[in-house]
């Protein structure tokens, strides 16, 4: 099947092949190690499939060699439909690095499909991001920030850069710049997990602020168990050090002593810790129960 894609105001013909089960591992799984491959599972009798096809073909034309696209007719290739548990068509699966990484069913507008694809497509700024990761791994947060600022200036709509820069800014102590970065995100992007976690970590960094070192805060709360400011700052420093259990113990003490402290700040901070722990695991289960008991 062929489609027309409009790219830089030039008509580009995009040939999109229907492939068989025998071709799938080479044309999709193998090829996806080199570049992402978009697979459109469709059927000749499916009206929504005919609506989605030109959208996908347009995007294939726009991305050129950065993205491959193939089609699978589920009536001709039922074994592939079964292999990938296709229950309705159209279903579109994106493969990258030899595996399926994301998918959707039904008809989506081009912008929504583009948003799904972007995190997996190679970009010119990837080299700078890689250098920044290496710098951060060597403990040079300021150098990492500089490289990521450059990457973002060159590729401002690449939202893969923002969480990388956010993490570097956090480690460099550039909290105002991090807050500006987060506030500038589109609403739909800001709701993604990576950015919600950055908001949480920023909140703890703000709470720690200019507080004394962790050892001094531990001494303060030992000497004065009613000092909620010191206890809350201690919990924040413990979170930033990934000492989650003692942090949650201190937040529970804050909640039990004064639920209104910092406008219910103890409870809200506890919820942020749960998020940092992916809302799962034995610690989350334990302290979610303790939190419920403390606020009831």
Task: Express as a percent the part of the chain with pLDDT over 70.
Answer: 95
Does residue 201 carry a pLDDT above 70?
A: yes
CB atoms within 10 A of CB 1: 13
> What is the tens place of the pLDDT at every residue in 115-166?
899 889 888 899 999 999 999 999 999 999 999 999 999 999 888 899 999 9
Looking at residue 11, its pLDDT comes to 43
Give the chain's end-to-end CA distance (angstroms, integer): 62
> What is the tens place of the pLDDT at every residue in 225-252?
999 999 999 999 999 999 999 999 999 9
| Strands 37-42 vs 68-73: parallel, antiparallel or unpaired | parallel
> How distant, in Å, are the alpha carbons of 58, 197, 224, 259, 269 from that of 256?
58, 26, 16, 6, 14
Query: What are the beta bridge partners of residue 104?
Result: 92
Mean pLDDT of the chain: 92
Which domains, from first to last, does the chain contain?
Answer: 2-120 (3.40.30.10), 126-191 (1.25.40.10), 208-295 (1.25.40.10)
Give the active site residues. Answer: 46, 49
Q: What is the DSSP letter of 268?
A: H
Looking at residue 5, its pLDDT comes to 41
């Amino acid at each position: 099947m062929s489609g027309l894609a409009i790219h830089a105001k030039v008509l580009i013909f995009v040939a999109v092949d229907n492939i068989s089960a025998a071709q799938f591992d080479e044309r999709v799984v193998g090829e996806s190690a080199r570049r992402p491959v978009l697979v459109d599972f469709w059927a000749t009798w499916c009206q929504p499939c005919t609506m989605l096809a030109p959208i996908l073909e347009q995007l294939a034309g726009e991305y050129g060699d950065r993205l491959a696209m193939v089609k699978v007719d589920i009536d001709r290739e039922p074994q592939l439909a079964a292999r990938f548990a296709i229950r309705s068509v159209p279903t579109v699966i994106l493969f990258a690095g030899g595996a399926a990484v994301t998918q959707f069913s039904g008809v989506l507008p081009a912008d929504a499909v583009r948003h799904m694809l972007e995190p997996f497509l190679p970009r010119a700024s990837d080299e700078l991001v890689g250098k920044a990761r290496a710098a951060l791994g060597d403990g040079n947060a300021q150098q990492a920030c500089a490289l990521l600022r450059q990457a973002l200036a060159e590729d401002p709509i690449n939202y893969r850069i923002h969480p990388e820069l956010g993490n570097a800014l956090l480690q460099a102590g550039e909290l105002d710049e991090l807050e500006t970065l987060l506030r500038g995100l589109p609403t739909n992007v800001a709701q993604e997990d990576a950015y919600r976690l950055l908001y949480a970590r920023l909140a703890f960094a703000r709470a720690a602020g200019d507080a004394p070192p962790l050892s001094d805060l531990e001494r303060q709360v030992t000497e004065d168990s009613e000092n909620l400011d010191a206890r809350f700052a201690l919990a924040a420093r413990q979170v930033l050090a990934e000492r989650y259990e003692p942090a949650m113990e201190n937040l529970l003490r804050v909640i039990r002593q004064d639920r209104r402290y910092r406008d219910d700040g103890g409870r809200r901070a506890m919820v942020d810790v749960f998020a940092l722990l992916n809302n799962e695991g034995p610690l989350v289960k334990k302290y979610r129960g303790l939190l419920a008991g403390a606020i009831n």
